[in-house]
Structure 1
Amino acid sequence: MDKINRGGHDTTMGWNTAALFVHKLPAAEVLAALPSRYATEPTGDSVQADGATASFPGDRLYTAERDQWCQVWDPNSLIAFEVDDLSTRGALANTRVLAVLFASVSSSYAFWLYDHGSLARHVFFADGAPVAESGAPLPVEGEVSLPVWGPDEDFLWAVIREVTGTDYTQDARYTVHADPGATGS
């Protein structure tokens, strides 16, 4: 499998971020469904994919809407751990939600897939081995060629492509959202 080129850097440089992919809901509705600690407003800025998927600056969210999927990228990587609550109540319980966690520094990768409020699949890998798992594996999980160290960024992007039809596109634009009270927004 080819490494994903992120702004001139391939994935061997590491990914440390998290994202939600929400089907058929606009970004405004997805952001409104998040807990108040994620309260942000658009800054008027946009960034390319390498900025939205980077691990800094933190304390921001980046959104895009493509092919009926809203993407919310969180450099603080906290949003992925909210997915259980978010996907079983409110607006997100009535659609399909995929959350992904990229933590290459700790060699941890995870995804959660919810269909209309029910967990369909979850797997969390640490150091190449599954440490938490629920639901039947997705077909793509058996189709991805894994490196000797186990699942990595390419594995997660294969899952993202399979579930959402979305791929990493460097020139895609993402809206920057920041805490309205934060300086430098």
Structure 2
Amino acid sequence: MKVFMLAASMMTLIAAGPVPDAAALHAGLAGRWTGSLGYRDYQTDKMSEIAVKTEIRALPDGVTVLRISEFDDGPRVGAVFITTASLHDSKAGTVSSATLRKGNSVEIETETLAVTAYVDAAHWTIVAEADGSDDDKPARLRVTEVRDGLLLTATKDVQPKGTATWAFRNRTLLRKAE
């Protein structure tokens, strides 16, 4: 059974033709998306969910993608905007990003990227990994993006330094606005 599934998945990749790099797949996300951000609250260890709107713009250079996300962080804070500018380096298999949010320091990180599944431009999986921090502690960070037509799911897992276990941190579920 495992051999059949492996052979079937290989045929899907062969039938789909060459697999585009992550920059091309991320550029294909251009447009407006709406959905929710679900995250694990550290104090209560419970899931919380808030509405989010995201606009993605791919620049004509083929390697730069801008994302602007807006969510309501409650009556005391109000609307929060997070802007991320990403520059892909296909030769290195990385993306370097600068993330801006009012009241926070600019976050700069470089992630390694892998296209782990590909059927076509609207059905794929990209896994990004980087060293960073979670809850102000060193950790390995992994974001798995899955595009399934008009749906995009990004799941962030963290692996605290010195452990082998990955833990869920947050998930963004978006639907492309038509």
Identify whether the pair has TM-score above 0.5, normalized to the shorter chain.
no
Structure number having the greater helix percentage: 1
TM-score, with structure 1 as normaliser: 0.34
